[in-house]
Structure 1
Amino acid sequence: MYLLRRLQIKTFYLPVLLFLLSACSANTSPGGDAIQVSFNTENNIFLSGHVFGEGNTAVILSHMDTGDQSNWWPFARTLRDKGYKVLTYDFRGFRDSFGEAALDSSYEDLNAAIDYFVDQNVSKIVLIGAGIGGTASLRVGNHPSVVGVVTLSSSPIVGALNVVDDIPAIKAPKMFLAAEEDTFNVRSTDVFLQMSGDPKERHIMKGAEQGTNMLIGPSGPSAKGLIIDFLRRNTQ
């Protein structure tokens, strides 16, 4: 009887255990048709990423310092379905990427991501970054293969990384997003507008969400629509 009761308990809890394991691993892989990839920085640091979709127009999504590439996966699928080839990746020291976390060097990691696509003969690349990911995107936005730069809740200065002098060199179209209650990053967009040449645009969204959280908050549909429209206009 005791053995039977133990078997019944195990049988009862097995679905629960499987559900918990599934929940814990939900953000370990994007699933679907995403392909896991890796590439190295110039100083040979291994970075991990995923590629969604196919094509000659690519989008590189760079994450915030409070997250990792998984924050971008839902939007990466949206862009894939719009016909773009999308790369999400982790900065060094985050998630599955090697090395010590060094946000001051985030632009070097993004450069490696750009090189990954250039080596595949991708003709057009749009950089989209949240937080430090946007700051890094502004640092390297003058790359000849870059045809657009979008920032979400980004600052011109993060630690020793200062991109104020890099912004004027970006000839590609630029779009800056921030939430109205995120006053610090709203002021940052003032700096971006002041330092940028045309074409440029700024959109202040309702709410206080930062970075990729703007895409899932109350302003999510508007923010995603603005980015998708920016891509359509600048990748034809």
Structure 2
Amino acid sequence: MKIKTPIPRFWPGAARRAVPLAFAAAATLVLLATACGSSDSGSGSDVLFQAEDGLVIHGRVFGNGAPGVVLSHMLNGDQGDWTTFAETLAVRGFSVLTFDFRGHGKSGGGKEVGIADTDMSAALRFMRVRLNRPNVFLIGASMGGTAALKVASREEVLGVVSLSAPVSIRGLSALLDVERVASAKLFVAAEGDGKAASDAQRLFDLAGDPKQLEIVGGGRHGTDLLKGGDADRVRGLILDFLEQYRVGL
């Protein structure tokens, strides 16, 4: 099932304007990244950056093109879930950042889902300040999608892709945020994935234009939508969305 509102070929938003950053936060971010450097881990380069509360977040950078893309994983997953797709985006000329939410993968702390958006905000700052990519897309799977919508409600981005994002999960809610996301939005979920399809529909209904809803077959969730089943279709939807809104950059 496809529901799509009219989307202009050129969206006069973040593609041409970067969000101002707080000097102190930016300075801390750059100093940490410079001190830690990066190491080649075979696929991408490992990086470290700080969340607002000082927690160190582990990430990985792929490619050196523009614009930037930040990929965020599901609850109980890690950034490795995105590696194959990150490599695909890098080949297509994007700079890509994956990262482990706190309490996941190599990042420290506990699984504080209710503040997952603060980790994603830190990833966005890293992309803009350290990688010098002011124009950025946010893509999130499940919990990561909810966090992406919250961040996009207060930061100017090129667009947001939400894969199986719940309206709310363990204290993290996009219910009051999604209508404030001014950039283009793509919601994707599988019809057999519990509440995922109905939550995608609800978020789509609350969101303003431009927006697009795609309900695919099967019951895969989050980044698993990129494996088997309708994976080719889902990858195509995301890539088409990114190409549409990178126009003119």
Give the TM-score band, short-chain normalised.
Answer: 0.7 to 0.9
1:131 pairs with 2:131: no
1:208 aligns with: 219
2 CA distance for matches of 1:161 and 1:142?
14
Any residues of structure 2 matched to 1:9-28 within 5 Å, and which?
none
Superposition deviation, residue 123 in structure 1: 2.4
The TM-score normalised by the length of structure 2 is: 0.80
The correspondence for 1:195, drawn from 192, 203, 206, is 206
1:155 pairs with 2:185: no
Secondary structure of residue in 2 paired with 1:97? coil
Any residues of structure 2 matched to 1:47-62 within 5 Å, and which?
47-62=57-72
Secondary structure of residue in 1 paired with 2:124? helix
1:86 pairs with 2:96: yes
1:18 aligns with: none
Consecutive unaligned residues of structure 1, counting only runs of 5 or more, are 1-28
Q: Letter of the aligned partner of 2:77 in structure 1?
A: G
Q: Letter of the aligned partner of 1:101 in structure 2?
A: K
Aligned residues: 208
Secondary structure of residue in 1 paired with 2:144? helix
Superposition deviation, residue 95 in structure 1: 1.3
State whether residues 156 and 183 of structure 2, in contact with CA within 8 Å, keep that contact through their aligned partners in structure 1.
Answer: no
Consecutive unaligned residues of structure 2, counting only runs of 5 or more, are 1-38
The correspondence for 2:77, drawn from 67, 83, 90, is 67
Q: Which has the higher helix share?
A: 1
Q: Letter of the aligned partner of 2:173 in structure 1?
A: N
What do the CA deviations read for 1:109-159 (whole angstroms, capped 9, x no partner)? 000001101213312110000010000001111344411000111111112
State whether residues 66 and 93 of structure 2, in contact with CA within 8 Å, keep that contact through their aligned partners in structure 1.
Answer: no
Superposition deviation, residue 31 in structure 1: 4.4
State whether residues 40 and 46 of structure 2, in contact with CA within 8 Å, keep that contact through their aligned partners in structure 1.
Answer: no
2:128 aligns with: 118
1:98 pairs with 2:108: yes
State whether residues 123 and 145 of structure 1, in contact with CA within 8 Å, keep that contact through their aligned partners in structure 2.
Answer: no
2 CA distance for matches of 1:33 and 1:101?
26
2:186 aligns with: 175
2 CA distance for matches of 1:30 and 1:71?
18
State whether residues 56 and 123 of structure 1, in contact with CA within 8 Å, keep that contact through their aligned partners in structure 2.
Answer: no
Superposition deviation, residue 55 in structure 1: 2.2
2 CA distance for matches of 1:163 and 1:129?
13
The list of structure 1 runs, each at least 4 consecutive aligned residues, that deviate by more than 6 angstroms after superposition, is: none
Q: Letter of the aligned partner of 1:163 in structure 2?
A: A
Superposition deviation, residue 218 in structure 1: 1.2
What do the CA deviations read for 1:71-106 (whole angstroms, capped 9, x no partner)? 000100011111111011000111111111111111
Superposition deviation, residue 160 in structure 1: 1.3
State whether residues 61 and 95 of structure 2, in contact with CA within 8 Å, keep that contact through their aligned partners in structure 1.
Answer: yes
1 CA distance for matches of 2:90 and 2:41?
13
Secondary structure of residue in 2 paired with 1:96? coil
Superposition deviation, residue 63 in structure 1: 0.3
Higher relative contact order (CA 8 A, sep 6+): 2
2 CA distance for matches of 1:100 and 1:152?
24
Rg comparison, structure with higher value: 1
1:7 aligns with: none
Pairwise CA RMSD: 1.5
